[in-house]
Structure formats: structure tokens, C-alpha cells
Amino acid sequence: MAGQTCYLFSPASGVQPQCVISLSPDLAPAQRRCWETASIWCHYKDRSAPPPQPKVHTTRLTAHCPHTSQQTAGWLTVSQGCISQGGPAEFAMKILYHVIFLLLLGGISCQNKNNAKPSGKSSKRAGSQAGDGAHDDDAADGGREPGAGGRGSSHQTTSSSKAADEMKLHFLKNTQVTCNDGTAAGFYLKEFKGSKRWLIFLEGGWCCYNKDTCDSRYKNTPRLMSSTDWPQTRKGTGILSPQTEENPHWYNANIVFIPYCTSDVWSGSKTTKPKEKGKDSVDYTFMGSLVIREVIKDLTTKGIKQAKVVMLAGTSAGGTGVLLNIEKVSSQLEQLGGEAQVRGLVDSGWFLEGRQQKVLECSDGVSCSPVDAIKKGLRLWSGNIPEKCRQQYKRGEEWQCFFGHKVYSSLTPPLFVVQWLFDEEQLRVENIYIGGQTLSDQQWTYMQNLGRELKNSLKDVTAVFAPSCLSHTLITKSNWMDFQVKGTSLSRALQCWDKSLQEANKNSKTPVKGCPFHLIDNCHWPQCNPTCPALIDQASQQELTLLQVLASMGLDLQKLGLDPRRDGHAISIVGSGG
């Protein structure tokens, strides 16, 4: 079932909610509206895993039903993010229309004794939950405006409240540690008064590794090499959001966002430019690892030494940066007198070495494999590598420590890995773009192998969330809680992981029951998880159905046993793995 979903069910005391009706929006975001479909409760009822527990707003309807000769209570339940095109009022009227239609259809004459109102307590709660289904566009442009409900208040609408929720820019006190072009490096900070939890986020953005790639990067994406145009404030989204409905477990942490402006996968320690300028000399510094060190130093005046938990998180190259720097951050905090437990959250930074279909000249960031880029860059950046991992490889082979499955076993701090099994950036290296081309047999085989190899590389990771989807990065998306593996969202899995670490500190040997945090999809095809993010056709910019995705890969749907006229048939076959 694509898109957000609205649920209507009538719970009896002490039993599982009964499947009555589900309202689901149209696939096209511009034409979103609700209609009847099969309930997601029914969709999940035959699974071994329990059904997902949606974040919901509930409006109580008390009605008299003649067939039972008693008062009965029903609940109109609206899942996160199901918003009609006409706005909340029109949306509520459409839902109530379906309620009335359902009751009439069943021959039940019920009288609503508590009329739902467009304002008041219930409406405030509904507005709070709407943030969970925000469009991905919000994450791309830095986040949406904070909605109602953040941190216990339903009236955060003034400009001062919005400003208080933004992260503020701080440049490093050590002016010798800079971005690639010599401009000041820094970080954004959103403090939460009294909190002893810190989330430090490393931005992603791949790398450059020679004069051509660095000059091209500086020309086309200067924000990844310079702080010249950094705004004074940023809005956090996903796990960086200060809103409880968007970020229920980390909203009350001190949030630190470190912009990526060093192009070295956060590994560099090169502080000087070449003295002699030649045609191949690179006129930049690379200090990613040093930037992290200086940020930690500057945060000591903000109270990080008193922290109980410090989470170092990152997406893409920032995720790889977590793997490369978490030991150093842990040691640095210990040397400063801190006693925090340092943890890592790696999102879409668990790359595989890659086996390109044909040997290409490694001359630019598009055609160069991850291995070639890292080999070239490591020398240019004076890259720092975790010492325990370095000792495992002979001289010249240290580049292997940039790959998660090679470095993971040597790291001491606990790590949680988030990884799409069909990572779009890993596919891009192989010149595979879904939604804009038909795949060759060789490309389709590579894609299948990638999913299989990523799954195998994650099997021994203690804490992991790996949906079988085509996408890249997850934790900073505004709708990050929508995605599930085996009925569990990432937010829930992180909470379970947190509980397990707390129990471990108490020397408990018993895992937390019913609270999983090792979650890898069982199904093997791209997009076979029904909660996968929608794919967009590059030409039309329209969302693709599952069958259109499979057809775009050049697959013969009839040979696969799929009926091209019945998209639901494909979902039932392909989407049953979860």
C-alpha cells in the first residue's frame, strides 16, 4: 500500500482492534485524496510479526447501535500525515462521510452524541501528528516550519518560538581548522536546557580526490567546500527535529549539525596547501577529522562533559565519517573528563567496494568506483584511520577501513547501522538510474547481487535497520518514521536499542522482549517492502507504481507471474516479505 494511510477501527476492551475500514491517499501528491481500500490491519494480520502501531490522532465517537442494545464506543483514527488537498476541514468531512457510509452499509443506525469540532483539544492533536507525513521536499530544503505540538505546547506559532527551535551557527574558535578553501569551519547548535543527551550529526556529500574533481566540486557545489554562504540558522528535520511528533525520542537532546566542507569523508588532517604550484597540484586543505575534534572542544563550554549519552550520527559520507571517527570522539571526551556513553548511528554510509561492469578511467566523481576514489583521496587528504583497523591491514591497504563491513568488528562503541539494501548512490556508481532507463541483464544482475551482498554484510551487525528499497539516506527525512521492517519503524528500533544499552549498563543479560533492533528485510526484490519511499520518473516527475518500477527495469512481468493489469497482484506477491 503506497502513501500514507488513514485507519478506522472499533476496539473492544482488551482485544486487537478490528479491521473495519482504511482510507488511503492517491499516489500523486498533487492530487492526494482519500478512498476506501483494504485495511493495513488486514494486510498485516497473517504475518508472524505484530502489526505496526501507527502514530495516530483519535476522535472518540459514542454511538447507540440497536443490534447490541447498548452504548458502544468507536474510534475514528487518523494515521500520521494523511492530509487531503482541500485542507484539514475538507479532509475531516471526507472521513466522516466514509464513516456514515460504512454504518449505513452495515445496517447500523448510530447516533453521534459527541460532535467532532474543527477546533479544541482533538484538533490540536491532529495538527501535531500531521508532521509525521511531511513530504520529502521538506528535508531537501532544510526542513518545514515547526508545527503545533512541539515539546508539549500546541501554540508554537510565533516567530520567537520558531527561532527558538532553529539551530544557530557557531564558527570554530580555532581559526586554523578550516573548510577546503580556507574559510572558517563551524557547527550549528540547538540546545535543550537541562538535557544530558547530545546528538552530533555529520553531513554527507561524497568527496573529491584530485585536482580535477576538487576544482569541479568547488565550481558546481561550493557549499561542500566553503562556509561563505552558510545561513545563520538551520531547521532540523527527522531525527534532528525539535518537534515531538516528528522526533519523539530525540527531540529533547542537544542537537549539533556539522556542515560538510572538507570533501574528505571526514578523515582528513592535511592543514597546508602545496608550496609549489603545478598543473596537478590541489590548492585546498582537507581537515574533516580535525573539524570534529575542534567541535567537541568548543562544546565543552556548552556542557558536553556532563553528558550521559553522546550519539555521533551521519548520512552517506557522514555515515562513513562516523565509522572513522567514533573511537577518537570517545577517547577525546574521556580525556576531557566526560563520562558519557558514546554511540554511533550510520545512515547510508555502509558502502561496498563495488565491482564495476567494465573498467572505466577514474577521472571524475561519477565514473570512479568507491575503492578508486578512496585510494586516491587517502593520500591527498592525509586521512586518519581507526588505529585498530589500520593494524589489520598492510601498508597501502588501509583504504579498506573506509568500508563498514571491514572496520565494524574493530570498533568498541556501540553502533546502529541504517542501510537501504538497494542504495541509489551505490547503484549510481555503476551508472544505474531507476525511473529513467531500462536495465540491461547485466545491470539487473548487479542490482540483485548488491541487495544480497549488503544483506550478508549486515548479518553480524548487532543493531541494524535495512529495508529492501531503492533510496539513499533516511534519518533526516521528515517522514522517517513511516518506513518499517517487519512491522517496526526505525524510531521504534532505535528506542529498543537504547533500552538494551541501558540494560547492558545494569549488567542485565536478558534482552528487552518484543523490542527488536536487528531488522533486515526478508524479501529480495527492490521495493518489495510495502513502506518503501515512492520512486519518481525522471522525465515526467510522476510517482511510479510497483509494476512500472519493475517494467522500467526491463523485466518481463508475465514471466514473473505478475498481471500487468492488476497492481495489487504484484503487491501481494512482491510485497509480502516485509
- Residues recognised as catalytic: 316, 423, 472
* One-letter amino acid of 109: S
Assign 3-class secondary structure to 119-135. Answer: CCHHHHHHHHHHHHHCC
Pairing mode, strands 484-485 and 18-25: unpaired
Closest to 414 in 3D by CA, of 463, 350, 347: 463
Beta bridge pairs of residue 59:
76
Beta bridge pairs of residue 566:
none
Closest to 327 in 3D by CA, of 208, 409, 417: 409
Spatial contact of 20 and 72, defined as CB atoms under 8 Å apart = no
Spatial contact of 154 and 128, defined as CB atoms under 8 Å apart = yes
Cα distance between residue 415 and residue 106, in whole Å: 52
Cα distance between residue 321 and residue 497, in whole Å: 21
Which ranges in 57-194 belong to alpha helices (H)? 88-105, 121-129, 136-140, 159-164
* 3-class secondary structure, 571: helix
Cα 94 to Cα 84, 496, 538: the distances in Å are: 9, 37, 33
| Cell numbers linked to 145 | 516550519
Residue 467: half-sphere exposure toward Cβ, Cα within 13 Å: 29
Which residues, other chains included, contact 347 with Cβ-Cβ below 8 Å and sequence gap of 6+?
313, 314, 315, 316, 318, 319, 418, 419, 473, 474, 475, 476
Spatial contact of 564 and 557, defined as CB atoms under 8 Å apart = yes
* One-letter amino acid of 129: Q
Phi and psi at residue 476, to the nearest 5°? -100, 5
> For the chain, how are helix, strand and coil distributed in percent, rounded to 5?
35, 15, 50
| Cell numbers linked to 369 | 568506483
Cα 425 to Cα 205, 244, 419: the distances in Å are: 11, 31, 12
Closest to 51 in 3D by CA, of 469, 492, 470, 347: 492
DSSP character string of 536-559: B-TTT-PBPPHHHHHHHTT--TTT
Closest to 287 in 3D by CA, of 184, 432, 413, 376: 184
Range 332-362 burial, b when 16+ CB lie within 10 A, else e:
bbeeeebebbbbbbbbbbbbbebebeeeeeb
Q: How many helices (H) and strands (E) does the chain have?
A: 16, 19
φ/ψ region of 374 (left if φ > 0, alpha if ψ in -120 to 50, else beta) reads alpha
* One-letter amino acid of 343: R
| Cell numbers linked to 494 | 532505535
